Amino acid sequence: MINAAVYARYSSDNQRDESIDAQLRAAYEYCKKKEYRIVHEYIDRVQTATNDNRPEYQSMMADAKKKMFDVIVFHKIDRNARNEFDYYYHKTQLKKYNIRYEYVAQNIDDSPEGQMMEGIMVSFAAYYSRNLAGEVKKGHRENAHQQLWNGGTPPLGYDVVDRKLKINEQEAEAVRMAFRMRAEGKTFSAIIKALNEAGHLTKKKNKFTPNSISDLLSNEKYIGTYVFGKVTGGRSGPRNSHMNNPDAIRYENAIPAIIDRATWEMVRDKYAKRLKQSNQIETYLLSGLISCECGAPMCGGRVRNQKGILYVYYRCNDKKCKVGRIKRETVEEYVVECLLEHLNDPVKRKALAQNIEDHANTYSQIYTSHIAGIKKEIAALDRKAAKLLDAIETMGISSAIADRLKEIDKQKEAMTKKIQRASAAAASLVGRDQIEAVIDDCAFILKDNKNNPDKVRVVLELFVDSITVKQTTVDVVYKFAPNWWRRGESNP
């Protein structure tokens, strides 16, 4: 009996468990026909497939190493991954354990044609994801130019009505109270205490904290300014990076104001002074990579003790978790030193370079197969065109034949462009010498990490898959790396 694992996923808040149910139902019917025994379900809700940083997906891959099943069943390729590297990286890893992928709605076998089709579908899934992201951003920016709300939770003091922000007078009282007290010189602690004692709550119905007050007092929407894309974001540039976006969209007097300009200016001056005194902006190298053993992400934070000494840390988002905080310098230095040690070790370095080269070769094969498939399609179109020309010699040309020839020319032109794009992508794949040079550069950057935090962040994104903080150890999982690289063997 073949043991199967079933994986289901949806990525959007607009989707619901019905999407999961449909995927599972189809997978169970598929396994029943195949006479597979389902031994485990893995379900990720509201998780993107543009990377593999999904809790259940990672759990599934960990169980695969234990050889708990023989096959993983997905509904379609895009439920597995929309990132070419992640797809083939995990497929290569699973081959070591004799575990394969199968898809309910897509018949992909191990034949050359099947592998070519798999490569095309993976590329299409990745293209769709990137194109969709671009279209979503384009739509958001167009909404912003019309001063429409782009989704998410509105600021305290506002409700969304017909995609426009409207003042919620009950909540607005808390906003006015906070600004008035800050303009009078009251401390954050005093403002928090007063708001909480008065029974006011944040938009998410929680009590006020330093972070929520800080966000409130720095929000330009309260003076009527519509801002979209104020900071850069994404995996390589988290939204808390404080990096201003030069392409931000800004409209004055586009929102009903809750705070007058004079009060805003007074609060802003005090806020700027506070930022300068406390050196508020911090760099968190591991942001987006680091999580707690309980599964919750860890975020950066800072606090001053009674002696005025600043303590900067990463903390678990789950307040009930026993792991709590870990000093920023401690964990960052540990992760950087571990990676640097691996990159400088000749044996580990050679294995790393070989793995990266193997992945590049895999992509090269995919592009080659893709190009060959397109050329076959072009040859088929040429044969159709030849038959049409023969018909013209026999019967003369008609409007239908002329239109069909034009359509064939358009199809051939589109396919030729696809070949050009695939050829350019294949030519851009790095060779062994380039890989070695990149590793050299990365090792140098890590060695000089104090002076180049932005570059160090890029290196960490390149080689570190995830960092898990436990009560006694820190586990680091690497990309591209062989299984025998050290992972969390010591206590930082």
Least confident of 20-34, 116-130, 216-230, 296-310: 116-130
So what's the architecture of 363-429 in CATH? Up-down Bundle (1.20)
- Burial profile 384-419: b = 16 or more Cβ within 10 angstroms, e = fewer: eeeebeeeeeeeeeeeeeeeebeebeeeeeebeeeb
Average pLDDT over residues 25-32: 92
Three-class secondary structure assignment of 300-339: EEEEECCCCCEEEEEEECCCCCCCCEEEHHHHHHHHHHHH
pLDDT at 288: 82
**Separation of alpha carbons 267 and 274, rounded Å:** 10
Average pLDDT over residues 324-329: 88
Least confident of 36-40, 100-104, 236-240, 318-322: 236-240
* Model confidence at 172: pLDDT above 80: yes
CA 435 → CA 337, 341, 352, 357, distances in Å?
21, 18, 9, 8
Least confident of 58-72, 77-91, 251-265, 447-461: 77-91
pLDDT at 239: 41
**Separation of alpha carbons 49 and 77, rounded Å:** 10
Of the two residues 202 and 450, the one the predictor is more confident about is 202
Average pLDDT over residues 251-264: 88
* Model confidence at 230: pLDDT above 80: no
pTM given for the model: 0.41
Mean pLDDT of all residues belonging to the chain: 79
* Model confidence at 284: pLDDT above 90: no
Least confident of 56-70, 116-130, 289-303: 116-130
pLDDT at 134: 45
Average pLDDT over residues 476-480: 83
pLDDT at 7: 92
- Burial profile 227-256: b = 16 or more Cβ within 10 angstroms, e = fewer: bbbeebeeeebbeebeeeeeeebeeeebbe
- At the top level of CATH, the class of 2-138 is alpha beta
pLDDT at 52: 57
Least confident of 117-121, 257-261, 371-375: 117-121
* Model confidence at 450: pLDDT above 70: no
pLDDT at 246: 53
- Categorize the per-residue pLDDT at 224 as very low, low, confident or very high, splitting at 50, 70 and 90: confident
Please give the share of the chain, as a percent, with pLDDT higher than 90: 20
* Model confidence at 296: pLDDT above 60: yes
Would you list the domain boundaries of the chain?
A: 2-138, 146-278, 363-429
**Separation of alpha carbons 162 and 406, rounded Å:** 47
- Categorize the per-residue pLDDT at 232 as very low, low, confident or very high, splitting at 50, 70 and 90: very low
Q: What is the pLDDT of residues 391-422, one digit of tens each?
A: 888 878 788 888 888 999 999 988 888 888 77
CA 258 → CA 171, 197, 481, distances in Å?
10, 22, 54
Top mean pLDDT of 13-17, 284-288, 306-310 is at 284-288
Cβ neighbour number for residue 222 with a 10 Å cutoff: 27
Average pLDDT over residues 195-200: 93
- Categorize the per-residue pLDDT at 271 as very low, low, confident or very high, splitting at 50, 70 and 90: low
pLDDT at 485: 62
**146-278 homologous superfamily:** Putative Large Serine Recombinase; Chain B, Domain 2 (3.90.1750.20)
Polymer length in residues for the chain: 492
- For 209, the token pair is 């904290």
Q: What is the pLDDT of residues 68-82, one digit of tens each?
A: 999 999 988 777 775
**Separation of alpha carbons 401 and 387, rounded Å:** 10
- For 252, the token pair is 């004055």
Average pLDDT over residues 423-434: 69
Q: Are β-strands 71-74 and 100-103 bridged in parallel, bridged antiparallel, or unpaired?
A: parallel
The alpha carbon torsion through 436, 439, 443, 448 (nearest 10 deg) reads 110
How buried is 135 (Cβ within 10 angstroms: 0-12 exposed, 13-18 middle, 19+ buried)? exposed
Average pLDDT over residues 103-124: 64
pLDDT at 249: 73
